[in-house]
Structure 1
Amino acid sequence: MRVVFTKGPGTSYDIAVHRDRGVALAPRNGPGGHPYLPHDLVHFLVEAEAGIELGVYGRLAAGDNGLFWPADPAERAKAARRRRSRPVKPSPRAKADMAMSEQLAGIAVPVWEVRHGHARHLPAYVTAGEIPAVVDRIVSRFDDYAGRWHALPAGGSLTLTW
């Protein structure tokens, strides 16, 4: 699966997913907010580095639509009917993987920001002595992409493979 992050003006961005399994998905806007580490890129890197199989990207690769809608209007209508008639509840493992993705992202981003001088202190919920070892690996992955993302002009893209 290929995931394309396309920079917009300011801190906005679009994300497109091209996968081998499941219906084709329409691109969507990302939540923005960070000039170096877009939210969805953070989760991609966290999940890849931590080996999280049923987070956002593992579920998308397996055919789940996640926060995306099918590109085909007929498929979109079918998906909307399915969601209304029988909402899908994630498995306990998927819930745990999503929670782990959120937890690691919530630690790794502030650690990266402090290490690169974008913040002076870690937030109170991050105790320096209790940072999991995987966070250092995740922060190193952030280092690989943050500068490249920041340097992109509006309309420029990064493509990552899951």
Structure 2
Amino acid sequence: MHVVFTKGPGTSYDIAVHRDTGAALAPRNGPGGHPYLPHDLVHFLVEAEAGIELGVYGRLATGANGMFWPADPTERARANRRRKTKRTRPTPEASADMARSEELAGIAVPVWEVRRCHARELPAYVTAGAIPPVVDRIVARFDEYADRWHALPVGGSLTVTW
């Protein structure tokens, strides 16, 4: 699966997912918010580096639509009907993986910001002694992509592979 992040003005961006399994997905806007690390790229890198299989991207790779809609209008209508009539809840394992992704992202971004001198100190909820070892690997992945993303012009893209 390939995920394409396309830079918009300011900190906005679009995401397109190209996969072999499941319906073709329509691109969507990302929440923005960071000039070096788009929120959804953070989660992609966290989930890939930490081996989180049932987070957003692992589930997309298996054919689930997640936070995306099918590109085909007929399939989109079908998916919309299924969502309305069949409220599927994530499994306990998927919920745990999503929570782990959020937890690691919430730790790794401020650690990266402090190490790169974009912030002076860690927030109170991140204590130096409680940082999981995987965070160092995640931060190293952030370093691989952050400057490339920041240097992109509006309309430029960065592709990552799951």
TM-score (norm: length of structure 1): 0.99
User: How many angstroms apart in 2 are the aligned matches of 1:129 and 1:66?
Assistant: 34
Matches within 5 A, 1:1-162: 1-162=1-162
SS in 2 for 1:96: helix
Q: Would you identify which runs of 4 or more consecutive aligned residues in structure 1 move more than 3 Å? A: none
Q: Which letter maps to 1:60?
A: L
Q: CA deviation at 1:88?
A: 1.1
SS of 2:3 mapped into structure 1: strand
Amino acid at match of 2:122: L
Distance 2:36 2:57 in 1: 20
Paired amino acid for 1:59:
R
Aligned-partner SS, 1:81: helix
Secondary structure of the structure 1 residue equivalent to 2:47: helix
Q: Which runs of 5+ in 1 are unaligned?
A: none
| Root-mean-square deviation over aligned CA pairs | 0.4
Query: Following TM superposition, by how much is the alpha carbon of 1:31 offset from its aligned partner in structure 2, in angstroms?
Result: 0.1
For residues 48 and 40 of structure 1, what CA distance do their matches in structure 2 show? 12
Rounded to whole Å, the distance in 2 between the matches of 1:130 and 1:23 is 41
The offset of 1:149, in angstroms, is 0.2
Task: Give the superposition deviation at 1:87.
Answer: 1.1
Give 5+ residue unaligned stretches, structure 2: none
**Structure-2 separation of matches of 1:16 and 1:68:** 9
Give the Cα separation in 1 of the matches to 2:130 and 2:21: 38
SS in 1 for 2:26: coil
Superposed displacement of residue 130, structure 1 = 0.9
Deviation at 1:129, TM superposition (A): 1.1
Structure 1, residues 67-104: CA drift from partner, whole Å, max 9, x if none? 00000000000000000000110000000000000000
Deviations 1:93-145 (A, max 9, x none): 00000000000000000000000111111011000111000000000000000
In the alignment of these two chains, the number of paired residues is 162
